[in-house]
Amino acid sequence: MANPQRSITAQNALTPRKRYTKKQIQERRVIVWEMTCCGSSLDEIALKCGVSEKTTRRDMAWWEDRLGYKTTQLKDPKNAAIDVGMTAAMLKQMSQDAYVEFVSSTNATFKVRYLEAAGRLLVNRHKILADAGFLPKVGHEIEEAHSVKVSFEARFGKDAPQAVFDDAKSRRKVLEAVFGALSLGIGADGLPSESAEAMAALTLDVESVSSSEASTE
């Protein structure tokens, strides 16, 4: 008894392979690219194009090689300049077309939109050329990082006792003295008798640190 699977394989081998013209292949690849960008699955693309998944994979590989090759070519300054020039030319043509529509339109709303579109296209064209280094960046904002340093000396003056806090070492000494005073029970409601001496010592510590900083300078 003949094997059915072997019969089907033999029949497929005898079936002539379908030939596609160059135009048909180009059109199919465009469909493959568009459906791939839309997130369609491999079997959906193959079903839409009427080809096998193997053929669809070859079309995807063709696009990957082509796009990768074009992107690599942009590393060459000449090719990069050509690409920028083509983009600038297209934007200029689109701006001119929008201006023609602005002149020929009789609708006030459409005239405003066409004029705005023409202006935006020209601005984008000049910005691309300026960013690429072909035009000076005239009228572009120059971003600068502004740093503002806040200090006790600038706030209270150079001779003020608070200026000691600008130095990390002196600040640490003062804070240690403050914590020592707080540990003795100095609060906002009043000063206990045993804490008065601690507060006086705290004042002397701040003054001594300030005087030592001044002598160092």
* Three-class DSSP labels, 133-167: CCCCCCCCCCCCCCCCCCCHHHHHCCCCHHHHHHC
* Rg for the chain, CA atoms, rounded: 39
Which amino acid, residue 61? A
Mean residue pLDDT of the chain comes to: 77
Q: What is the pTM of this model?
A: 0.41
Give the largest CA-CA distance in the chain.
117
Which amino acid, residue 119? G
Q: How far from 41 is each of 4, 29, 46, 108, CA to CA, in Å? A: 32, 15, 9, 46
For the segment 22-71, what is each residue's pLDDT rounded down to a tens digit? 888 999 999 998 998 888 899 999 999 999 999 999 999 998 888 888 78
The band of 193, judged by pLDDT with boundaries at 50, 70 and 90, is: very low
CA–CA distance, 27 with 30 (Å, rounded to integer): 5
The band of 188, judged by pLDDT with boundaries at 50, 70 and 90, is: very low
Nearby residues of 55 by Cβ (< 8 Å), 6 or more positions away:
46, 49
For the segment 96-149, what is each residue's pLDDT rounded down to a tens digit? 999 999 999 999 999 999 999 999 999 999 999 988 888 887 655 555 555 666
Helices (H), the chain: 4-14, 22-37, 42-49, 53-73, 77-104, 108-131, 152-156, 168-183, 193-216
Nearby residues of 19 by Cβ (< 8 Å), 6 or more positions away:
none
CA–CA distance, 52 with 169 (Å, rounded to integer): 76
The arithmetic mean of pLDDT across residues 188-202, rounded, is 51
Give the residue from 51, 49, 21 showing the smallest Cα distance to 35: 49
